[in-house]
Amino acid sequence: MKSVSVLLVVLAACTACTLGPDYRRPRVDLPSAYRDAAPAPPIPAPSVGDLAWWDLFTDPNLVELIRTALAANYDLRVTVTRILQAQAQVTVARSQLFPTVNGTVEAPYTGYLGNNRPPTTPRDVFAPDGGVSIAWELDLWGRLRRATESARADLLASEDARRAVMTTLIAQVAQAYFDLRAFDATLETSRRTLVSRQQSLELTRARLEGGVAQLLDVRQSEALVADAAKTIPNFERQITQTENAINILLGRDPAPIPRGRPLVQQVTLPTVPAGVPSDLLARRPDIRQAEQQLVSANAQIGAATAQLFPTVMITGFAGAGGMVVSGQSFGPLGVFTALPTVTLPIFNMGKLQAQVDIAEARTQEALLRYQQTIQQAIREVADALIEVQKRREARVEQEKLVTSLTDASQVADLRYRGGVSSYLEVLDTDTRLFNAELQLSQAQLDELVGVITLYKALGGGWQAEETARHS
């Protein structure tokens, strides 16, 4: 008994050995700044990605919609179930480091009928017993510890996957709401233009009756009315479909969406800098997820390498039982057994080494995915920065165009009423103004979408949400 105890202590001490490479974050060459980014301020300032989403989006209705989506969106709820699965998998992997203990109870009975039983065989035997069985694999080479390390990394990866879905969801709800307010603005423009053109049509008809205008002027005015009227059903359809899309993001059935501030008052355009590319390693959920997947794959190398070495399994049983033979009792008796088993791989046609090669190749793949994710993230931020800048410039020029065409339309209308010019001039300026006003709403929307894209590219949104949830 003493020798068995000594053997267990020695074998347990050997479990300090862990095969396989320990994870170290790979070196990645990152630029010092994003392309087309504003010059860094002399005093370091937080990045746009560090802003809480409720500070970026100022419309109370939009804030409430995002909160509802974060609580009820189905995609986000699915990621939570995956985290629960990963948590359970960590428990499964870690449990293999400890002995397995099972209790057993048996009560076998053997009896013979008649007098045809074999010689010297008892007429009946009843042998109840019970005890505890133990099985323990000694983790001499760290296979089980590496498997646990891999499972924990998978858990962290699933948590970062949830954060990535959260960031995407915030952007999706905000963009859909901005689309809705843009359609509202264009619908309002169409209705206002329709009323104005209907009034102009009535005036043109009155001028025709007075002999001042021609029938062609009336037909051209009718064409303007029809052109404005046809856009209204299209915008109404898009509004309803966008409302339905928002409700799906919120985990609700299609229904009207309450409105808040107009499109031009939705976002206080950030003036804080984008930050430096190295910040993305800690902020972007997809980069964090890719790194944890690399950690998991790296741990699997050690788990596969350990299979090349002997496996030591200790099984044992301790219990008590008795026996009744043809009416005579024996016992109770105590029983204890211990059986160390060593399994040494000798010949397997290279299967175990191939599993190591597979683990190393998967780790290399995970490393490349990690590096690719970082490079793609930097590209997305650079794209978003130039988009915000150029969309803002385009919106400013479009506003100037609308102002100029508004004045031109008023002058053309006055010239026509004064008999200086034909209705063709009114038709041309009015059509150009209507199109320019619709394009202005689109330009305003594009600028806001650019801000959302930049915020998402910087990995913003999830940090503030988790801080608020835990506070």
How high is the mean pLDDT of the chain? 87
Kindly state whether residue 341 falls inside one of the protein's structural domains.
Answer: no
Kindly state whether residue 318 falls inside one of the protein's structural domains.
Answer: no
> If DSSP codes are grouped into helix, strand and coil, which group holds residue 83?
helix
pLDDT band at 471 (very low <50, low <70, confident <90, very high): low
Query: CA–CA separation, 391 vs 399, rounded Å?
Result: 12
pLDDT band at 413 (very low <50, low <70, confident <90, very high): confident
Check residue 269 and give its pLDDT.
62
pLDDT band at 470 (very low <50, low <70, confident <90, very high): low
Query: CA–CA separation, 218 vs 202, rounded Å?
Result: 9
What CATH number is attached to the domain comprising 37? 1.20.1600.10
Kindly state whether residue 348 falls inside one of the protein's structural domains.
Answer: no
Check residue 396 and give its pLDDT.
94
Which segment of 6-15, 147-156, 217-226, 312-321 scores lowest on mean pLDDT?
A: 6-15
Tokens 């190295």 belong to which residue? 278
Angle between helices 215-249 and 423-457 (to 10 degrees): 10
Kindly state whether residue 37 falls inside one of the protein's structural domains.
Answer: yes
What average pLDDT does this structure show over 424-436? 88
Q: Which domain covers residue 394, as residue numbers?
A: 19-98+142-309+353-470
Burial class (CB in 10 A: 0-12, 13-18, 19+), 168: middle
Q: 5 pLDDT exceeds 60? A: no
Kindly state whether residue 115 falls inside one of the protein's structural domains.
Answer: no
Give per-residue pLDDT as tens, 70-81.
Answer: 999 999 999 999
What average pLDDT does this structure show over 248-275? 84
- From start to end of 82-187, where are the E strands? 100-106, 109-111, 124-126, 129-138
Q: Which helix (H) or strand (E) holds 145?
A: helix 143-209
Cis peptide before 39 (omega within 30 of 0): no
Check residue 329 and give its pLDDT.
75
Give per-residue pLDDT as tens, 14-68.
Answer: 555 889 999 999 998 888 777 867 666 555 566 788 888 888 888 999 999 999 9
Query: CA–CA separation, 136 vs 287, rounded Å?
Result: 38
What average pLDDT does this structure show over 443-452? 93
For 274, phi then psi, to 5°, come to -75, -20
Q: Which helix (H) or strand (E) holds 13?
A: helix 2-13
Pairing between β-strand 109-111 and β-strand 328-343 as defined by DSSP bridges: unpaired
Give per-residue pLDDT as tens, 216-255.
Answer: 888 988 998 999 999 999 999 999 999 999 999 999 999 9
pLDDT band at 1 (very low <50, low <70, confident <90, very high): very low
Give per-residue pLDDT as tens, 327-368.
Answer: 677 767 788 888 889 999 998 899 999 999 999 999 999 999
Tokens 């998967």 belong to which residue? 362
212 vs 200, which has greater pLDDT?
A: 200
Kindly state whether residue 210 falls inside one of the protein's structural domains.
Answer: yes
What percentage of residues in the chain have a pLDDT greater than 90?
A: 57
Query: CA–CA separation, 458 vs 51, rounded Å?
Result: 10
Query: CA–CA separation, 97 vs 185, rounded Å?
Result: 63
Q: In degrees, to the nearest 5, what angle opens at C-alpha 425 toward C-alphas 201 and 215?
A: 45
Kindly state whether residue 41 falls inside one of the protein's structural domains.
Answer: yes
Q: 129 pLDDT exceeds 90? A: no
Q: 437 pLDDT exceeds 60? A: yes
The number of distinct structural domains making up the chain is: 1
Check residue 171 and give its pLDDT.
94
Which segment of 169-178, 183-192, 214-223 scores lowest on mean pLDDT?
A: 214-223
Query: CA–CA separation, 228 vs 61, rounded Å?
Result: 30
What average pLDDT does this structure show over 94-104? 92
Kindly state whether residue 118 falls inside one of the protein's structural domains.
Answer: no
Q: 174 pLDDT exceeds 60? A: yes
For 148, phi then psi, to 5°, come to -65, -40
What average pLDDT does this structure show over 408-414? 89
Whole-prediction pTM = 0.86
Query: CA–CA separation, 193 vs 224, rounded Å?
Result: 9
271 vs 204, which has greater pLDDT?
A: 204
